[in-house]
């Protein structure tokens, strides 16, 4: 009996250790994916926005001729200063988004506000974030995983849905955090969810990691709605 008890105890501790390792790996994977997506966004921002601004400022400065038309040269100089100032502000925004530090230091709400502000710059979507209830700071690692779920959902919408409006809501009640992300895109049949690749599976797996409930509702030509319910406290 003692031998069997020790065997069960050893198996339990081994299982517990495996769960801890799996949890740590999942957290690390989420952090790496956030950084990978951030670098992709930074690359696109530098190429499409900052690069064009600096090229325009260079053109103004190269074509400036103080001797022939001093008034026009002053306008070009002022325009160049303004454009370079905008580029510096954009670089400052990028520097704040270089890693998951914005989540760890400021919480998921600030991180989402920054993420959505960057998406709005494209002018391709009408995208809004609302926060209701009394916000509660979760464990930073949990917020990191939740942020990755939201980030993946937004990326899926932009890549596949052909949506024009995206709504994200965080609602805090006494026991749960309720996340809802909806769009007005093309949607898809519910019975084809299993065929939609690994994106939905990844979101569901991460919601399970947070002991949350993941649901998705979609119909062709009626958009998609993703809901996640996460307990705020361990007990």
- At 93, the pLDDT band (50, 70, 90 cuts) reads low
Position 10 pLDDT exceeds 80: yes
- Long-range (24+ apart) CB contacts under 8 A made by 49-53 are 49/90, 49/121, 50/87, 50/90, 50/91, 53/83, 53/84, 53/86, 53/87, 53/90
The percentage of the chain sitting over the pLDDT mark of 70, rounded to a whole number, equals: 80
Q: What is the pLDDT of residue 194?
A: 54
Across the strands, what pairs with 4?
A: none
- As a whole number of angstroms, the distance between CA 144 and CA 104 comes to 8
Give the residue with greater pLDDT, 92 vs 173.
173
Q: pLDDT tens digits for 27-56?
A: 666 666 666 666 666 676 676 677 888 888
Position 192 pLDDT exceeds 90: no
Instruction: Calculate the average pLDDT of the chain.
Output: 81
Single out the residue of 182, 168, 177 nearest to residue 217, CA to CA: 182
Position 23 pLDDT exceeds 70: no
Give the residue with greater pLDDT, 175 vs 47.
175
- As a whole number of angstroms, the distance between CA 234 and CA 104 comes to 20
Ranked by mean pLDDT, the top range of 33-42, 146-155, 172-181, 203-212 is 172-181
Position 195 pLDDT exceeds 50: no
- As a whole number of angstroms, the distance between CA 227 and CA 9 comes to 38
Per-residue pLDDT, averaged over 6-24, amounts to 77
Per-residue pLDDT, averaged over 173-202, amounts to 80
Contact call for residues 146 and 137 (beta carbons, < 8 A): no
Place of tokens 């930073």: 140
Per-residue pLDDT, averaged over 111-132, amounts to 85
- As a whole number of angstroms, the distance between CA 5 and CA 231 comes to 34
Position 154 pLDDT exceeds 70: yes
**Number of neighbours of residue 34 by Cβ within 10 angstroms:** 22
Give the residue with greater pLDDT, 201 vs 96.
201
Position 133 pLDDT exceeds 90: yes
Give the strand pairing for 176-183 and 126-133: unpaired
- As a whole number of angstroms, the distance between CA 26 and CA 206 comes to 8
- At 169, the pLDDT band (50, 70, 90 cuts) reads very high
């Amino acid at each position: 009996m003692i031998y069997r008890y020790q065997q069960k105890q050893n198996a339990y501790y081994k299982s517990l250790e495996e769960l801890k390792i799996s949890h740590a790996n999942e957290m690390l994977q989420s952090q790496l994916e956030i950084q990978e997506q951030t670098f992709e966004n930074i690359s696109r921002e530098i190429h499409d926005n900052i690069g064009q601004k600096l090229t325009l400022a260079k053109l103004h400065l190269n074509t400036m001729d103080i001797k022939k038309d001093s008034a026009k040269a002053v306008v070009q100089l002022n325009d160049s200063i303004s454009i370079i100032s905008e580029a510096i502000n954009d670089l400052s925004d990028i520097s704040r988004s270089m890693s998951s530090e914005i989540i760890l230091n400021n919480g998921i709400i600030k991180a989402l506000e920054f993420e959505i502000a960057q998406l709005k710059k494209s002018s391709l979507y009408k995208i809004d974030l609302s926060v209701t209830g009394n916000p509660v700071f979760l464990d930073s690692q949990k917020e990191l995983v939740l942020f990755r779920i939201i980030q993946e959902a937004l990326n899926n919408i932009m890549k596949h849905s052909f949506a024009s409006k995206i709504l994200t809501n965080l609602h805090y009640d006494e026991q749960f955090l309720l996340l809802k992300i909806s769009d007005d895109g093309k949607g898809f049949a519910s019975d084809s969810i299993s065929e939609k690749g690994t994106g939905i599976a990844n979101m569901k797996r991460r919601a399970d990691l947070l002991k949350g409930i993941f649901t998705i509702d979609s119909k062709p030509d009626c958009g998609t709605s993703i809901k996640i319910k996460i307990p705020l406290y361990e007990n």
